[in-house]
Amino acid sequence: MKYTKWMVPALIVAAVSLGGCDLEELAGMGAVEEAPARPSPVRVQEVSELTLPLEAVYTGTIEAWEQAHITAQAGQRIERLPVREGDRVRRGQVVAVMDDANVRQAEVEVRMATNERDRLERLVAIGAVARQQLEQAEAHLETAQTNIEVLRRNTSLTAPIEGVVTEKYYVAGEVFGGQAPALLTIQQVDPLKVVIHVAERYFPVVRPGMGATIGLDTFPDLEFHGEVERVNPTITPESRTFRVEVRVENDEARLSPGMFARVGLDLGETTGEFLPRRAVQSTPGSGEHFVYVVEEGRARRVALEVGEQVDQYRRVISGLGEGDQVVVEGLGRLHDGAAVQVLEGGGER
């Protein structure tokens, strides 16, 4: 049997009628209802007034407590350098001996000046010469004696501090010149110091004697203790910081100049309204901060003005009201207006 073009739609209508369906029901069969979005589980916490220990952490480099560069007069030949890198030296210990040719020449001049003074003393005693000549001879002798003392100090060179020889630039037999900054360098390594540059807002509270903790990458599991030794009385305009020297003992010789250090200054306590740092979000590139507050089962984005960070908390200056429930956990998928389910138990304080 052949079907004409008008018979196909007619058969479809007949089939629908036989099944007890109308066209509106047929059209509705293709629609799928969307399931409501499941509320995101969150934990909340009210902004609260806390008293927290205030610590500021700065990075710096460990330096020698004192450093001395041992130098000599240019053009002198080095007779002996009896120390090497790593040697410990005492204050006043001889660390270099230079050629003493100038000393020998000065000794001759002292002997001649002494003889001349003695001769003039005899002549003055018998009235053969004026006393003025004797006084001139005595002044000449005094100058020669001073000169020889200076030359002797510049020939036998001693350590001005107790410490360790860290650099040696010459060997015996060389002539000291301008090729190197010194014959050798001595550093005092017990105690040591860490130099840091502290933000100017802490200038009123940082004082000598204040405690400090020192962490090192070299000893990640250890914490060293020191105290503020010196505070620079001026603030650098470019960085708005001031220089602070922190003293740290090194009696076990575990620390060394050049090590990278993180210094924590104990600045007392601070009181104010705080939220956990993880609750405070920021908009990249804008510097704006916000949190999510739960209202009637929905998350509402609220802009904040915040202050400094103290440990794991952030100070709240304005933006929240009394009793606001701030989301502190479950922030990963939140957006403004998202449905939320508040779990039992607030966020950790």
- The dihedral sign for the CA sequence 137, 139, 141, 143: negative
Rounded to whole angstroms, the Cα distance separating 284 from 240 reads 26
Q: Which residues of the chain have pLDDT under 70?
A: 1-37, 178, 345-349
Whether the CB-CB separation of 56 and 264 falls below 8 Å is answered with yes
Q: What is the pLDDT of residue 347?
A: 57
- Paired with 23 in beta bridges are none
Whether the CB-CB separation of 298 and 292 falls below 8 Å is answered with no
Q: What is the pLDDT of residue 23?
A: 42
Q: How far, in whole angstroms, is CA 94 from its chain's centroid?
A: 37
Q: What is the pLDDT of residue 346?
A: 58
End-to-end CA distance of the chain: 84
Q: What is the pLDDT of residue 20?
A: 47
- All structural domains of the chain, each given as residue ranges with its CATH number in brackets, are 42-51+271-342 (2.40.420.20), 56-64+190-270 (2.40.30.170), 72-168 (1.10.287.470)
Rounded to whole angstroms, the Cα distance separating 71 from 268 reads 46
Whether the CB-CB separation of 283 and 303 falls below 8 Å is answered with no
Whether the CB-CB separation of 282 and 319 falls below 8 Å is answered with no
Q: What is the pLDDT of residue 36?
A: 62
Q: What is the pLDDT of residue 3?
A: 46
For the beta carbon of residue 185, count every other beta carbon within 10 angstroms: 20
Look up the pTM and report it. Answer: 0.62
What is the pLDDT of the chain when averaged over all its residues? 86
* pLDDT one-digit tens code per residue, 267-293: 888 888 999 999 999 888 778 999 999
Q: What is the pLDDT of residue 285?
A: 79
